[in-house]
Chains A and B, each alone.
Chain A
Amino acid sequence: MPSSCDEKIPRIEHHQNNSDVSITICGYWSLNSRERLRLLRRWESLVLQWKDVLSFEIKCDESLVWDSSLVVFLRNANRDLSVNGGQVVFLDLPAGLNKLLNLADEGQKRNKEQKQGPPSDGFLSMEALLKPLDFLGALVISFLNLVRGRSVMRWRDFFASARNCSASALPIVTLISFLTGVTMAFVGSVQLEKFNATIYVADLVSLAMVREMGALMVAIIMAGRTGAAFAAELGNMNLNEEIDSLETFGICSVSFLVLPRTLALFVMTPLLTIYADIVGILGGLLVGTLVMGFSALHYLEQTQSALTDMWEVYSGVSKSLFFGLIIGFVGCYKGVFSGRDSASLGKSVTSAVVISVTLIIIADAFFETAFSLLELR
């Protein structure tokens, strides 16, 4: 049969002889050829048509021009035609094409043998529940060792972490708390004006800041800023086997890496909260004096009278101690147990922030409920 393989298009010619089919590949096989896609659609219908055929012979025309598209086609053709028990024989394939097919087959075989990863333990395995508790226990023991003077924690790591999560965070804490104070003063003044009691804006701003907003805003800033940084830093150390190398020296990684960071946040978060409370009150003062026309002294006297019960201040600061612990613990935990690839590191950082913020809100609600039940409010 004369073949028309001169044009620059891929072609398949076939002959059926009872239960045998002979296929000749010819023409110009290129990844860029649009004709090839048309041919593949035709090939699918041919495969359906040959579902009862038992023997296939595939050969190549001498004038065939080919690239990877033909290798892929032949691999798929072999799979498609042998699905229903057909025997596929390749005849007279160009030497290079034959080698590439064999190489790909060997590679796939090796892959099947080697790449059977460990089975997943499921979403909520016992280990997933116990691991954070184990980590918390190790942190508590490290702290007790520090108290007993037996810890390997280096104080300069503590001071470096303390500087990072306090002095370096001052600009953002100042901005956010000041604007929170300003916003609350504006919102409050609209309502209080209806009762001709705008001076109580000072009470509203000061009480809201010291009880709730100061601690909460600082905690959320710290979770996004410092918690994420801890997770990224320790995750990267895990990735570079730095944590493993500590363990092989017999140096407790929790004491050496986690304790100084968590302790720094535990100490610094309350201090930042007190600072945020003051800045927030100054934000309210700005609105009270410039917009509402009160004198600064009048506004501050009103603030002082609102805060005569110092428990209001203590309650906010005591909450921030726990918030600091939550952020430090979650950030370090996610870092130490992040996977050993960059994608897992990204996930660890994200989940450190999300889990910290969620736990902070839950803890805040818990504290407010407890204060209310214990009649501390």
Chain B
Amino acid sequence: MSAATPDALDRFGESLAERASPIVVKEVRQGLRTRAFWIFFTLMLIACLVIALVAFAASAGNDAGAGAFGAIFTVLAVVQFFVIPYSAYRSMAREQEDETWVLLTLTGLGPRRVIRGKIGSFVLQGVLYASAAAPFLLFSYYLNGIDLPTIVVGLIFAAAYQVFLVSVAVSFATLAHSKMMRGLLQFAVLALLLGATGMGKGVGAWLMELFRLGTFDDELIFGCCAAVFAMLSTAVLLFEAAASGLSLTTESYARGPRLAYLAQLFGGTVFFIVGWKVMTSTGFLVGGAVIAAVYSTLVGTYVISDRDGLAANLRAERSSVFSPGAYRGYLLVAISALFVGAVFLALATTDSDMRHRDLRMIAAAPGFALLYLSLPQLLARWLPHAASQTPAMVRVVSLGLLVLGVGLPPLVGILVAEPDDKMLNLLNPLVGLINISKSGPSSDEALAVVWAAALISGLAAYVSLKRRDR
């Protein structure tokens, strides 16, 4: 009977491994064999034990739980927000360095399953660390001074933040194609994770303190939900973009990132609308419209930058805005940006508290988005060199145009007139938008000019992209 239990456990383990993703099984096998895992695991346990003993000794007559929980949370933050995401980055980068990546893709697993497996396995390692620290977290509860809901809030925040950071790290690693890029990324990821660890620890502690003090009002809960949504949806978007970047042109690589883009855009819109309704503040509609426009321009350009046309096998199937190709991507982002802008404008007109100047700003934002979405597509395709038409170059042109659009008119303004000269800054996505929101009849004219420019460039981009879509 005594031997039956280990056998049953073995069988359970085997059946679990049989069902799990091969990548998860591999990463767990490899992860548990690394020295880094055992060193950090042991250090974490020792640190938790010391914190618990010190807190217990200091607990006589005091509520030492909050302090103990904060200290254990800090230890966990180092592991969860730095060690694990960095290990995930290294694991993915090593697949590229050792050229094992191609072998994985040939198995038929595909980039999405491989990256999902990588993220999943490191989140699982995080769960392993967290479960080892769980008795100490529970112990801090018994030391009084902290309640269970606060602990739960802290852990939910930590889990969402860790998934986000692991996704960021793994997605970054997929960009490491060359030695130089790998070197640059290594430093970038290290710096990013160090900053993110400090920030995560600080924000986590702040949230738990607010919760503990009972100052956790509806607005804060709403803000937390929005932050968790932003983190998780960004994680999904990065994951999809990374998988897409590693796919072959013959695969339907554009669907994932475009769907994730739409989900984040519409999900974010819903959050702003809920915020406007619940907190009855018109600022949510103005902010929502502007952020949606900025998001469409920056993230949209990144998501839709694609080669012209699509592979022969995909051409045979019925294409949609989710099929590869710059033309379809442009249609999707332009239409969705205009649609979201229209939703905000329609809601704003129903709000009696909405000022006219804010209404103008809401109306102008999608115009600027359309303008700065269309111009890089046009410009990249008008340039004579074939290299300018690559997705990477379109992104560079887009960023360059934005920087020029924001920075050049004020610079010229300093030389010839005022830095915020209305004429000079008419198409400036920052100063121009602010100028439009200012009172005066010229603002309405400026709004009309922005929309005219947006529609002309939009139409030209549409025609140009459609013509090249073979």
Q: Do A and B actually bind?
A: no
Instruction: Please list the residues of chain A having a beta carbon within 8 angstroms of any beta carbon in chain B.
Output: none
Chain B positions near chain A (C-beta within 8 angstroms): none
